[in-house]
Amino acid sequence: MAGTTMMTTKMMSSAPGMTPGQSVTSQPPQPSTSLPLRTIPGSYGWPLLGPISDRLDYFWFQGPEKFFKNRIEKHQSTVFRTNVPPSFPFFRVNPNVIAVLDCKSFAHMFDMDIVEKKNILVGDFMPSVKFTGNIRVCAYLDTAEPQHAQVKNFTMDILKRGSKVWVSEFLSSLDTMCYNLETTIKEKGSASFLLPMQKFLFEFLCKAFVGADPSTTPEIAKSGHFMIDRWLALQLLPTVHVGVLQPLEEIFLHSFSYPFFLVGGGYKKLQNFILEQGKEVVERGQKEYGLSQEETVHNLLFTLGFNAFGGFSLFLPGVINRVVSDETGLQEKLVKEVREKGSQGLSFDSVKEMELVQSVVYETLRLDPPVPIQYARARRDFQLSSHDNVFDVKKGELLCGFQQLVMKDPKVFDEPETFKPDRFVGEGKKLLNYLYWSNGPQSGSPSESNKQCAGKDHVTLSAALFLAYLFSRYDSISGDSSSFKALVKAT
């Protein structure tokens, strides 16, 4: 089970979305008449051979980041044509994409007048709808589809209502996790926090988002997070660079889609748990938003499991890793700020006053986005501009943005490869206009008319609350992205 959890967490780094919605408050830059028009460089190669060659580079010989970096250098352009996995002959998908790898070109993917998001959560590949109860959940709906507004509004409403207990449930579950970790460290000298963190996340999210308490159902309390792990894993395996021994990864992980029946039993138990323990929320979806019971339950499960649980499972370990690996005195600064600004207790309001805490969260999202790849399909012909050129994009062409490179745009971010904890402090807050982890800028707002993450602010504030909690409880922590070696209690 631990292996499944670690693999799923790894795979979520390529899963495009922590919540089913996504947005932007301003339009992307319009093509400048001063920029030269250029034909999009690159090619898709010979049928079958081109996609297979790119697939092997992407998964095996280069890895995703080097794959895109090499092509930027080759074409001298942050916009080019290439193939992304999965591809023929194993999948009936079109792997052809236009890569957009700078902030200016990437931002076009948020303009719903020129792009659509129908069935492209992970590019042209779409897992079987059996994984979501034969329902196309909100993540696969385009804003032009009437159902999108119903589900998006329902999701935002549930998040708003859940805010009443969000912080208290978060801190209560976190208390339990930290106490158990301290006990383990005392007994064994170190403690892995990946599984305890997933258990904490599952418990807290069920209570705050769905109003369902896992402790009322012993099997769900014990194994609910494992059920979601396996459900996530089977959907994402064909698209993710896991890093296990090749060619085994290519043969067993990237050559076919795994069938739903392998996780169908666990998913059914989760579905019944939501129906029985989250009755009020399910009924609200039906009565207030006109959704069927099936639509309500499967959208709730997707948001809870794929978006929130999966995203947090990757993101929070990344925050810890950045803090414990810092050698500039960051922990001492965090302790000082947290105890000054949080002296009256921790809440969303108090962490909003902690500029450094929030900046660390934002900087982690910049360098380690839990949603590194975003996709959008051209709704019509339009002109796309990078910093250097203008390109003609045709209706139906698929845009692909690898955010780990986009967020290192040297024309936007100073020393883009360096982790700067205070990058977003003071005047640096202007850079939030270019922090795109949520399928829109951090300065944007989710709505029914866009695809920005419905829980964007809950994510960043919860991560800030998590960091503030650690440094209100501990003077220092040591470890890495998967385990704690020491937790020095506050004196």
Query: Which of 124, 132, 131 has its CA nearest to residue 98?
Result: 124
User: What's residue 34's pLDDT?
Assistant: 87
Domain spans of the chain, in order of start: 37-489
Mean pLDDT value of segment 1-13: 46
**pLDDT digits 0-9 by tens, 101-157:** 999 999 999 999 999 999 999 999 999 999 999 999 999 999 999 999 999 999 999
In DSSP notation, 334-357 reads HHHHHHHHTTT---HHHHHT-HHH
Are the C-beta atoms of residues 391 and 40 closer than 8 Å to each other?
A: yes
**pLDDT digits 0-9 by tens, 302-311:** 999 999 999 9
Enumerate the known binding-site residues for heme.
453
User: What's residue 33's pLDDT?
Assistant: 58
Phi, psi of 476 (to 5 degrees): -160, 155
Model confidence at 28, pLDDT cuts 50, 70, 90, reads very low
93 has pLDDT over 80? yes
d(CA 79, CA 91): 26
User: What's residue 30's pLDDT?
Assistant: 52
Mean pLDDT value of segment 87-93: 84
Phi, psi of 483 (to 5 degrees): -150, 155
User: What's residue 32's pLDDT?
Assistant: 53
354 has pLDDT over 70? yes
Are the C-beta atoms of residues 268 and 132 closer than 8 Å to each other?
A: no
- What does the mean pLDDT of the chain come to? 93
AA identity, residue 181 = L
CATH superfamily of 37-489: Cytochrome P450 (1.10.630.10)
At residue 181's C-alpha, the angle toward residues 179 and 184, to 5°, is 115
**pLDDT digits 0-9 by tens, 442-486:** 999 999 999 999 999 999 999 999 999 999 999 999 999 899 999
Beta-carbon contacts of residue 302 (< 8 Å; ≥ 6 apart): 20, 132, 137, 138, 139
User: What's residue 17's pLDDT?
Assistant: 40
Q: Which range, of 6-20, 43-57, 261-275, averages the lowest pLDDT?
A: 6-20
8 has pLDDT over 90? no
Beta-ladder partners of 98: 81, 399
Enumerate the known binding-site residues.
453
Mean pLDDT value of segment 58-75: 97
List the structure tokens of 173.
């579950």
7 has pLDDT over 70? no
Angstrom CA distances, 213 to 63, 202, 229, stand at 41, 10, 19
**pLDDT digits 0-9 by tens, 314-341:** 999 999 999 999 999 999 999 999 999 9
Q: What is the largest CA-CA distance in the chain?
A: 67
